[in-house]
Amino acid sequence: MNPQQENLISPAQAIIIIINYILGVGILTLPRALADEVGTPDIWITILISSIFPLAVGFIILMLNNRYPKKTFYQYSYKIVGRILSIIICLSMVIYFITLTSFEVRILAEVTETYLLEDTPIQILIILFLWLTLYLNVDGLNSIARMFQIIFPLTVFIFILLALMSLGLFELKNLRPVLGGGIGPVLKGIKTTSLSYIGIEILIILSAFLTDPKKGKKVVFVGVLMPTIFYLVTIVIVIGALSLDGVGNLTWPTITLIHSFEFPGIFFERYDSLFLTIWILQIFATISITLYAASLGLSQLFNKEIKTFMYILLPVAFFISMLPQNLQQAFSLGDMLGNAAILLFGIIPIMLLVLSFLRRKHS
């Protein structure tokens, strides 16, 4: 059975899938991670520079995909590197996607436990979210896309609202001087930021589902541009309000920012729950699409029904998510995933692209 046939998505849906996938843990931790790494208030420049990389990766994957239209990477890779190598690469990608699912759901549960449901065991939170993910997944990519279409406008609305509310704390001096330490420190943060753009790799399956494959470039461009804007706004308001020194010792600087303002007279006082709502939706979106990507990989490799693998992968994801003993280990798992993403989706597609050109020439 080929799940692609009944599951085509429009370019607009593809864009929303990419945006929802990219926005994730980074929006909570990026200000701190970057502040530590860069050490000058110029970290917003780092974001701008770093956004080139996901664009490049996106276009390379797109070029590769366009050589094999209507097929996902899992289906065509054997034509380039042969059966065995192809299985190894595809399985690594499946492992990557399922580990990413576990990592994101773990962070989701950690934050929920810290700020919202103190007494609830973390396992319960993880299981609940994974079940919801499964529920969304069984009807295929199309229903995932439609769900994201609901989530996305809500996210934009609440995000803009909270950004405006925190303007009261904003001080421009915290973002100055621009390039006071030169361009050197700015470049130091590029790797850290690139990890926040994890998500663009979904193109290796996504472009095969497009109703209008010619719009692929637009999908990549807008799909990277929007999260860049989100990250920029987040960085600017968090650093502008809390200052570079002030975020260094905070685990979740963005939530702390929302903890830091108050509007007297309004009945509703805890805006962090509002923010956490959209953030949880974003993570939910991410884990939905990664679980789908992993299941699709297995289903196309072994030519079996995709639902079976969704059920099989669910406990696997739960198991992996319980592996980190504490938050620090979970964060380092995230770093590992980032490195794996650079190898799997940054370097390998370039090599395959070159190889496939060579093959074409030979024949």
Partner 1 sequence: MKHIFILLRRSFQLVILIPLLAGCWSSRDIEKLDLLIGVGVDTAQEENITSSYYGADSLLTVTYQMAKIKSNQGQNTKKQEDKPYTNVEQTGASLIETAREIIQLRKNTVNGQHQRLIIISREVAENRSIREILDFFIREPEARMSMLVMITDGLAKDILDYMETDDIPSMHIYDITENFDKSNKLLERKSLAKINALMEAQASFILQNVVQTDGELKLSGAAVIKGSTLKLIGFLTEEELKGINWITAQTNGAIVKVEEEGSDKPIIYEQELLKSKITPTIEDDKLSFQVKVKSEGLIIEVATNTESFSEEKTRRKLEEQIAEEIKKEIQTTLERIQKDLQVDVIGFHDYVRIKYPEFWKEHQSDWDTIFSQAPIDYEVQITITDFGLGIQN
Can you give the binding site for partner 1, defined by CB under 8 A? Answer: 114-120, 124, 127-128, 131, 169, 173, 176-177, 180-181, 241-243, 245-246, 248-250, 256-257, 259-262, 264, 269-270
Radius of gyration of the chain (CA): 20
For residue 202, the minimal CB distance to partner 1 (Å) is 29
Nearest approach, Cβ of 171 to partner 1 (angstroms)? 9
CB nearer to partner 1: give 4 or 254: 254
Complex with partner 1: residue 124 or 150, whichever CB lies closer:
124
Peptide bond before 11: cis, by omega within 30 degrees of 0?
A: no
Least distance from partner 1 to the Cβ atom of residue 305, Å: 17
Secondary structure letter of residue 83 according to DSSP = H
Both ends of the chain: CA-CA distance in Å?
31
Residue 133 to residue 291: CA distance in whole angstroms = 8
Q: Which residues, other chains included, contact 320 with Cβ-Cβ below 8 Å and sequence gap of 6+? A: 98, 99, 102, 103
CB of 173 to partner 1, least distance (A): 5
* Structure token digits, residue 41: 């208030």
CB closer to partner 1 out of 92 and 114? 114
Q: Least Å distance between CB 247 and partner 1?
A: 8
Q: Is 9 helix (H, G, I), strand (E, B) or coil?
A: strand
| CB 161, min distance to partner 1, A | 17
CB of 114 to partner 1, least distance (A): 5
What does the DSSP assignment read for 170-236?
--GGGGPSTTTT-SHHHHHTHHHHHHHTTTGGGHHHHGGGBSSGGGHHHHHHHHHHHHHHHHHHHHH
Residue closer to partner 1, measured from CB, 131 or 157: 131
Instruction: Name which of 21 and 271 has its Cβ closer to partner 1.
Output: 271
Q: Which is nearer to partner 1, 88 or 179 (CB)?
A: 179
Which CB atom, from 78 or from 261, has the smaller least distance to partner 1?
261
